[in-house]
């Protein structure tokens, strides 16, 4: 049954001071709890902050504390239509969670992809080498194939459609570059060639993962493979991409360049935000692509405009300097905390935990295979002894690529919202993502131990295909 609430009723009730006060307290508790959990688990258990924030959200949700069921946040919000006399009742906790999820979906997700697009340096991407490019492509494609294959042939009793299987693979396609980079800096290992390759490969596989998701939704929207429908979808796709490229290069880039070199630099952040949201909605509604694709390209074109102005990177009013702290300090913790709020670990039985372990193993192996293949290909093509990759180099490279993070969480949330994956698979995927962020530092620590110890057998042994 669909309950339709008259707009004027919703407006008058949702803006009353009581509900606003409840929402502010709910927002503050979620933000503070996520930040505290991230910091404490990082300090005590050396756990990545991202994983700590998600775990904090899980503890705050139905898995443990279940904050939404406390009387203070579950007070019914009554709405009475003065015209018809009908009464509508919604729990205040439902409204609080709804608005938190809305903020995450409409602001945090686009911002995260905008920042990813801004941090993509096309010039550097051209020079990252064969290893990074091949590892990035393989690191995005192999997890999709392996995850779908393993779930299809080894877990046949788990009823999943083909789209759900592919969707689960897409969740584990993208690498989180922030987690390994933080550890590489902390361990003073950024000078290693495996560390440099990780930066390039992580950007490449994020791009491939976003494109794969867009293609996935394009095929999903066409339903059955009908020539007319597919042709129409491809036409809309081509038109939307052409619109993005033309407007990005001839409108966004010059506009950003003008703002950077004029007295209106204070407008850079709001202009960048508006364009980002327009791109996000445009590709979703017109091109049938994932909205995050538009947000990513908005950040990419913004960077192109900034790079054309000398010293613009140092501008205090630059959109990246305004947006990044706000996203990292407020929106990201809220997003990660809200992810945890949607996860109920109690629903996972022995069978589900078995699937979690299996998918974790697949998530690790699929990234390692891509990196070892890329290193072996480099050794085959390049015969120079100084540029050859050892087993230890390949292991460190693969270990750094294992962690999944923000992009994987975003894809999981999108697929759940589109009813591609079930609630159970969503919970399983979130748990696996958290575990990969925990496993990665452990694997890197072992590799650094071997490296610092000077294990000549590993460091001098070249990896060959």
SS3 366: helix
**How much is the pTM?**
0.77
- pLDDT tens digit string along 116-140? 788 777 776 666 578 888 998 999 9
pLDDT score, position 429: 92
* Domains of the chain with CATH codes: 7-108 (no CATH), 109-459 (1.20.1530.20)
Q: How confident is the model at residue 117, as a pLDDT?
A: 81
Q: Which residues of the chain fall short of a pLDDT of 70?
A: 1-3, 14, 124-128, 155-159, 177-179, 181-183, 185-186, 221-234, 288-289, 310-317, 383-387, 454-465
User: Following DSSP, what letter does each residue of 150-180 receive, concatenated?
Assistant: HHHHT-TTS---HHHHHHHHHHTTS--SHHH
Closest to 435 (Cα-Cα) out of 179, 72, 108: 179
Partner residues linked to 91 by β-bridges: 76
Does an H or E element contain 91, and which? strand 87-91
Q: Contact at 8 Å (CB) between 42 and 54? A: no
Please tell me the predicted confidence (pLDDT) of residue 170.
93
Provide the b/e sequence for 142-173 (b: ≥16 CB within 10 Å): bbbebbbebbeeebeebebeebbbbbbbbbbb
pLDDT at position 228 is 45
What pLDDT is recorded for position 227? Answer: 44
The answer to whether 326 touches 114, Cβ cutoff 8 Å, is no
Q: Taking each helix axis from N to C terminus, what angle separates 291-307 and 109-118, rounded to the nearest 10 degrees?
A: 40
Q: Where does residue 141 fall: left (phi above 0), alpha (psi -120 to 50 degrees), or beta otherwise?
A: alpha
Give me the pLDDT at residue 419, please: 85
Q: Is 426 in contact with 160 (CB distance < 8 Å)?
A: no
Contacts of 175 (CB under 8 A, 6+ apart): 139, 201, 202, 205, 206, 367, 401, 402, 403, 404, 405
What are the structure tokens assigned to 369, written together? 């295979």
* Percent residues over pLDDT 70 in the chain: 84
pLDDT at site 30? 94
- CA-closest candidate to residue 448, choices 200, 199, 132, 192: 192
Let me know: does 252 contact 299? Beta carbons within 8 Å.
no
Segment 224-281, tens digit of pLDDT: 444 445 566 667 777 877 888 888 889 888 888 888 777 777 788 888 999 999 988 8
pLDDT of residue 127: 60
Per-residue pLDDT reduced to its tens digit, 184-203 = 766 777 778 888 788 778 87
């Amino acid at each position: 049954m669909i309950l339709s609430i008259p707009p004027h009723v919703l407006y008058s009730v949702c803006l009353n001071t009581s509900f606003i006060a409840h929402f502010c307290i709910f927002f503050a508790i979620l933000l503070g709890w996520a930040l505290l959990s991230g910091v404490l688990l990082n300090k005590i258990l050396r756990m990545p902050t991202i994983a700590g924030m998600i775990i904090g959200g899980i503890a705050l949700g139905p898995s443990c504390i279940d904050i939404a069921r406390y009387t203070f946040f579950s007070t019914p919000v009554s709405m009475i239509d003065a015209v018809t006399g009908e009464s509508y009742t919604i729990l205040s906790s439902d409204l609080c969670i709804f608005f938190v999820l809305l903020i995450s979906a409409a602001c945090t997700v686009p911002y995260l992809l905008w920042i990813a697009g801004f941090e993509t340096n096309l010039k550097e991407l051209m020079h990252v080498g064969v290893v990074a490019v091949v590892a990035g492509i393989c690191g995005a494609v192999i997890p999709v194939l392996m995850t779908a294959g393993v779930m299809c042939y080894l877990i046949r009793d788990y009823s999943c459609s083909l789209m759900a299987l592919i969707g689960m693979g897409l969740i584990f396609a993208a690498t989180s570059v922030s987690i390994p980079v933080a550890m590489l800096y902390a361990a003073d290992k950024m000078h290693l060639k495996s560390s440099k390759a990780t930066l390039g490969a992580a950007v490449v596989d994020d791009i491939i993962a976003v494109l794969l998701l867009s293609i996935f939704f394009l095929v999903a929207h066409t339903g059955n493979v009908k020539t007319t429908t597919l042709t129409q979808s491809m036409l809309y796709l081509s038109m939307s991409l052409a619109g993005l490229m033309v407007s990005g290069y001839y409108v966004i880039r010059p506009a950003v360049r003008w703002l950077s070199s004029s007295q209106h630099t204070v407008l850079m952040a709001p202009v960048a935000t508006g364009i980002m949201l327009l791109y996000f909605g445009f590709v979703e509604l017109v091109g049938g692509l994932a909205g995050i694709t538009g947000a990513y390209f908005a950040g990419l074109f913004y960077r192109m405009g900034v790079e054309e102005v000398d010293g613009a990177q140092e501008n205090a009013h630059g959109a990246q300097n305004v947006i990044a702290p706000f996203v990292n300090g407020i929106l990201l913790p809220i997003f990660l905390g809200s992810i945890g709020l949607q996860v109920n670990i109690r629903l996972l039985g022995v069978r589900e935990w078995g699937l979690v372990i299996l998918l974790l193993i697949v998530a690790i192996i699929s990234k390692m295979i891509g990196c070892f293949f890329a290193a072996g290909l480099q050794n085959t093509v390049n015969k120079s002894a100084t540029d050859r990759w050892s087993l230890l180099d390949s292991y460190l490279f693969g270990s750094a690529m294992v962690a999944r993070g923000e992009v994987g969480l975003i894809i999981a949330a999108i697929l759940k919202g589109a009813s591609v994956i079930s609630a159970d698979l969503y919970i399983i995927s979130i748990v696996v993502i958290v575990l990969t962020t925990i496993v990665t530092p452990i694997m890197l620590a072992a590799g650094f131990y071997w490296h610092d110890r000077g294990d000549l057998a590993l460091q001098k042994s070249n990896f060959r295909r």
